[in-house]
Amino acid sequence: MEDLQQNIDSIEEVVVDPLDELKAELAETKDQYLRARAETENVRKRGAEDAARARKFAIEGFAEHLVPVADSLYAALDHASDDVKKEFELVLNQLTSAFEKNKLVEIKPEIGDNFDPHKHQAISTVESEQDENTVVSVLQRGYLIADRILRPAMVTVSKKADSNE
């Protein structure tokens, strides 16, 4: 009986030890697989985010070159004779439509609007009857592209009048 027990013990050693090793190896392989799968998913998500960001701002460089064209058209429209104004307006409308389709939005503050340092660039301050830190004049339109400032609007801002006068 004792011999039988020894045989069973030796058989258990031969069978159980490799089985334990296989279980440990399987657990390690499973852990490596889960980590690799998670890393692959993270890379896929990062790639999708990078592609979305690239699409969102791909037009930015092109837009930077078109904004001065819009400025020139606005200036020409301001000085054009009545018989040419309609043509300038048509071209300008086409350009602004193309801007809108590509998420390029004009920043054009109105006189009296509060100065917003995130969207406006103060070129100078002038004494004015208006409330302090409000837009007195707009020197150049600004532009946003996909909610990011491409160029701030250049404005003149009011300041308090000196009371010594």
- Whole-angstrom CA distances from 97 to 3, 85, 104 are 95, 18, 9
Residue that wins the pLDDT comparison between 59 and 123:
123
Q: Based on the fold, state whether residues 37 and 72 are members of the same structural domain.
A: no
Last residue of a domain, one of 15, 34, 58: 58
Task: pLDDT band for 163, please (50, 70, 90 cuts).
Answer: low
Sequential DSSP letters for 102-154: TTEEEE-PPTTPBP-TTTEEEEEEEE-SSPTTBEEEEEE-EEEETTEEEEPEE
Mean pLDDT of 68-76: 92
Q: Which domain holds residue 98?
A: 60-159
| 72 and 141 together in one domain | yes
| 164 occurs within a structural domain | no
At 152 the pLDDT is: 96
Tell me the per-residue pLDDT of 127-161, one tens digit each, with 9 for 90 and over. 988 889 999 999 999 999 878 899 999 999 999 87
Angstrom CA distances, 106 to 77, 98, 119, 121, stand at 17, 12, 10, 14
Q: 137 and 72 in one domain?
A: yes
Per-residue model confidence (pLDDT) at position 30: 93
Same domain, 41 and 11: yes
Q: How many separate domains does the chain show?
A: 2
Q: Which residues contact 124 (CB under 8 A, 6 or more apart)?
A: 156, 157
- Largest separation between any pair of C-alpha atoms in the chain: 121
